[in-house]
Structure formats: C-alpha cells, structure tokens
Amino acid sequence: SSSSSSSSAGSGGGLARLKRQLEQGPGLADFVRGNRGGDATVADARAHEVDMGGGTYAVPAAKLRHRRPKPAWVKRTLPGGETLSKYTEIKNQLRELKLSTVCEEAKCPNIGECWGGGEHGGAATATIMLMGDTCTRACRFCAVKTARRPPPLDPDEPENVATAIAAWGLDYVVLTSVDRDDLEDQGAAHFAETVRLLKRRRPSLLVEALTPDFRGEEELVARVASSGLDVFAHNVETVPRLQAHVRDRRAGWEQSLAVLRKAKESGARLTKTSIMLGLGETADEVHAALQQLRDGGVDVVTLGQYMQPTKGHLPVAEFVSPEGFAHWEAVARGMGFRYAAAGPLVRSSYRAGEFFLQNMLNEDERRARQEQVRKEQASLQ
C-alpha cells in the first residue's frame, strides 16, 4: 500500500515535471526556425542576432494555452469624436455602394485611424478591395474568406468604385483585390478598368494598386501595371524560407519578385512590397530578403508586425519592439530604397506611407515638367 502510494506520488510528480517542461519548451516558431534548443526564447536568439546598440528587439508571444497581455505597442484605441464620425460616414458609403475593404476583411488594426483621418486631421482613406470578399487562396496568415469558386464579379464595381472615390474627394487611393484563380484572366481586366475609370474621372488622383501575383503570368501583370496607376504594390509577405509555411502553395518568393520586376518594366512609376515580422524569421533572413528586393528594383518597402487574426491562423512567434522595427527601417533606407516604413502597426497600405508617396510622386512630376521645359528651351536656342 505504502509502495503503491509512493509510486503514484512519483508518477504524479513526473507528470507535473513533464507538463512544466512542455510549457517552457520550444513552440511551433522554434521548430519552424529549426531551433529545438532548451530554455532560450526566440527573443533571446534575436537579441544576439540584431545589433541595435541597446534596447530590446522583441518579446516572445505566449505559448499555446497560455494567456499573456500583448505588448502595449501593438494596441489601438477605438475611434471617437470627429474621427468616429468620419469612420461611420465611410462605412455607410461602402455599404450603400456594396464595396468591400481589406481594412475590414483582414481585420486591420489601423482602421479607425485611416478611416477617421488620424489624430492630425489628415485625409480619411480606405483601401478598396475589388472582386468581392472571397479569395481562391488560403494563406495561413490571412482572415479573408476563401472558396474554390467565389461569386461572379460585379460588372458595376469599377464604376461604383470611381463614384465612391469621387465623392470622398481623396488625393490618393489604394486598390487591392482577392485572388481569383477561378477566372481566365484572374481579374486583371477588371482591376485595370477600375484604374482607368478613376484616372478618367480625376486625372490628378494618385492610384496605388496592391495586386495578387496573377500566378506570375507576365501578360496579366503588364495589363494592370500599364493601366495608368502610379504605384504597383505586391506583397512578398515573409522571408523566402517561410513562404510555403505562411502563404498559399500557389504563391512563392521568386514568383512575387518576378511580378514586381515585370511591373516596373511595364511602366509602373514605383513598385512596392511588404514583409510581416514575428513569424519565426531570423535577422539574417530579413536582411537578405531586403537586399534581394532592392537588387530586384523594388522602390518602396514596409515592414509590420504579424498579428494572428483568429485561433485558426498561424500563431505569432514574437512581438518585435518599436526599436526593432526602427532598426530595419534604417537598414532598408541604407540599402537605397526610395522609401521605407517599419513599425508594429505599419501595414502595406498604411496611410503615413501614402502621404509620403503622394509627395514623392508629385515631386517626380514637378521634376519631369522642369526637365521638359529645359529641353524645349534648349531646342529654341
């Protein structure tokens, strides 16, 4: 009896120890990175890899079944006052015109700031999502609905989008879309027609298109890139090693890089992409990815924190600190990108970037006009 009790107690103690070891041991992100080592956390590993001259690079995310408050730097307050009024106005207009936004579908943390115009009274902006709210792909980070055959395209959508943007009086608009692998041209003609209508109504309007990869088909990429847009954006999402783990199997690093190169060749004034951090990538991988993008001719890059939209999506490996993002912004600018924005809540169509790009594009136009005048004057001499 006594030995039975002692055996039972020993067994219970062993189970308790095993449970503690499992809780403190490596998580999914560690296995993704190939790190099965003992007690070192992901954040500890990053601290050794990233030389920031002091400060914390990241804090680890809570492991499965553990609840831990998110760092303060990834939290947003709900809109109120005049900001709430603008937010509500845009939301009502979108519903009336039967338009979708990636802001809502992807659960973007900046929706209150962007739609409300921000605390500094900037122009309210919303990123319009074309071709419906259902995607044919199933990336493991994305909250947008998926289906093999989404509903057919709305032929009135290009006109409705042009009507909405004209009503808002915006100077800069971002158009994006779901993937539509079920369509013969994957929606390229629909996307291009929307851009053309916008430009026809307001030639001064600056248009950014955040596009799918069109399965890498150059003719479709060129159709959108040459439609009159000002910024061609396509997101690589993560570093090369994590592509298959994070994105749909039909997407990939080399394919996305080729899309950005083709867009530039087809006349896009600026090309732009975005990388999420906090998925288990290493510092060396982020640095190498940025260098490949710059070598590929990409003009603008943004880096932001990956946020798990639901429990069914990829878990967050770590929360990169504002200091960590400042490090990558400095690295990107040092590589020669025309513009780089990095921060926990920065997203590919984040409004602060839009303001900068608007000024950059206007400056390019001013210089082009000056050069034209100079050539005309030289020809008369």
Which whole number is the average pLDDT over 326-336?
96
How far is the C-alpha of 125 from the C-alpha of 114, rounded, in Å? 5
Query: When comparing pLDDT for 175 and 165, which is higher?
Result: 175
Q: Which of 272, 250, 254, 267 is nearest to 354 (CA)?
A: 272
pLDDT tops 50 at residue 145: yes
pLDDT at res. 308 = 82
- pTM, 2 dp: 0.75
pLDDT at res. 237 = 95
pLDDT tier for residue 3 given thresholds of 50, 70 and 90: very low
Distance of alpha carbon 354 from the chain centroid:
14
pLDDT tops 80 at residue 9: no
Using DSSP's 3-state secondary structure scheme, residue 300 falls into: strand
pLDDT at res. 107 = 55
CB 178, CB 131: distance < 8 Å: yes
CB 304, CB 277: distance < 8 Å: yes
pLDDT tens digits, 270-303: 999 999 999 999 999 999 999 999 999 999 999 9
Output Rg (C-alpha) for the chain, integer angstroms.
Answer: 24
pLDDT at res. 154 = 93
Phi, psi of 237 (to 5 degrees): 75, -50
Phi, psi of 318 (to 5 degrees): -160, 160
pLDDT tops 50 at residue 39: no
Which whole number is the average pLDDT over 121-150?
79
pLDDT at res. 164 = 80
pLDDT tops 60 at residue 218: yes
Q: E strand or H helix at 77, and its extent?
A: none
CB 339, CB 357: distance < 8 Å: yes
Phi, psi of 208 (to 5 degrees): -105, 130
User: What string of DSSP letters covers 303-346?
Assistant: EEE----STTSPPP-EEE-HHHHHHHHHHHHHHT-SEEEEETT-
pLDDT tops 90 at residue 25: no
Q: Which of 123, 49, 47, 52 is nearest to 83 (CA)?
A: 123
